[in-house]
Amino acid sequence: MDNHIKKFSMNVRGLFSSAKKRSDVFNWAKSKSSSIVCFQETHSTRDIETLWGDEWGHQCYFGHGDSRNAGVCVMFRGGYDYEIHESLIDQHGRYIILNLTLYDQRLTLVCLYGYNTDKPEFFCDILQKTMRFSNTSFIFLGDWNVVQDKNDDTYNVIHDRNPNSRKKIDEIKETLLLLDPWRTCYPSDRKFTWRQTSPIKQSRLDYYLVSENLFTLVESTKIIPEYRTDHSAIILTFTASLAKAKDTGNLILSF
């Protein structure tokens, strides 16, 4: 059994109103050979869980907003060894926190969809919830709606949006010893995950934050073109076992 895990994340900009779009997006995500797929802004409601789960074909976790707002989900694929020990799901459809084991690696997975207004209390809540588990390894991912550095992560964006949320994200990074794989690999590159066409604006709002103690397991990190949305997808591939990872230099820089 392959112990390589590919995590896929994308803001899908609504899957509730169109079964055709939902089918297309599900199939497109599966075509990327993803092990774990995380969507944000799904616009899901509680009554869709059975239908969407059947359409996906494997275990799913949902955090619901309403049919026009928010919503997150974490969808698993078959063919690898994992166990979910506990889940914490936001009642407003903004995050899913999973305490899980991938092969022999225990970790906390956080899929989140941040507010587009300055709400540092949202990230404070996530940090407090994450600390409930005794894990020392973390993977955060999603559409944060906050850039980490205005100079490096925006284009033609005049205002410094959500500065207090950014400070709280910095606190999470310091508290949990998290690294941004993309920025660590490409310290001077400017690549974006969200774009507006008129006028042209771009930001890197979607990213992973990974524990320092998991970083040697990372094999590649990618930003790939969007599909039926205005956000690029982000992909992180890693070896799911510390025992099978190389001692150093495991990271493959990959666009």
The annotation status of 2 as a binding-site residue, yes or no, is no
Ligand-binding annotation for 11, yes or no, is yes
On the question of a cis peptide bond just before residue 120, with omega within 30 degrees of 0, the verdict is no
Name residue, tokens 């063919």: 79
For residue 229 the two structure tokens come to 């949305």
231 is catalytic: yes
- Please indicate if the annotation marks 41 as binding a ligand: yes
Out of 90, 143, 153, 206, the active site residue is 143
> Could you tell me the two tokens for 61?
């976790």
Q: Select which of 95, 207, 208, 231 is catalytic.
A: 231
| 230 is known to lie in a ligand binding site | yes
Whether 159 is catalytic is: no
Separation between Cα atoms, residue 237 and residue 100, nearest integer Å: 17
Q: Look up tokens 């995380």; give the residue.
A: 38
CA-wise closest residue to 104 among 1, 242, 206: 242
- Is 113 in the active site? yes
Beta-carbon count within 10 A of 75 CB: 22
- Find the catalytic residue in 113, 153, 207, 208: 113
Residue 100's nearest CA partner among 175, 49, 36, 150 is 36
Cβ(63)–Cβ(52) below 8 Å? no
Amino acid at the residue 110: V
Distances in Å between the Cα of 33 and the Cα atoms of 8, 9, 37, 76 are 9, 13, 10, 11
Find out whether 69 is annotated in a ligand binding site: no
Written as six digits, the tokens of 64 are 């619901």
- Active-site residues, by number, are 113, 143, 231
Known binding residues: 11, 41, 143, 145, 230-231
Known binding residues for Mg(2+): 11, 41, 143, 145, 230-231
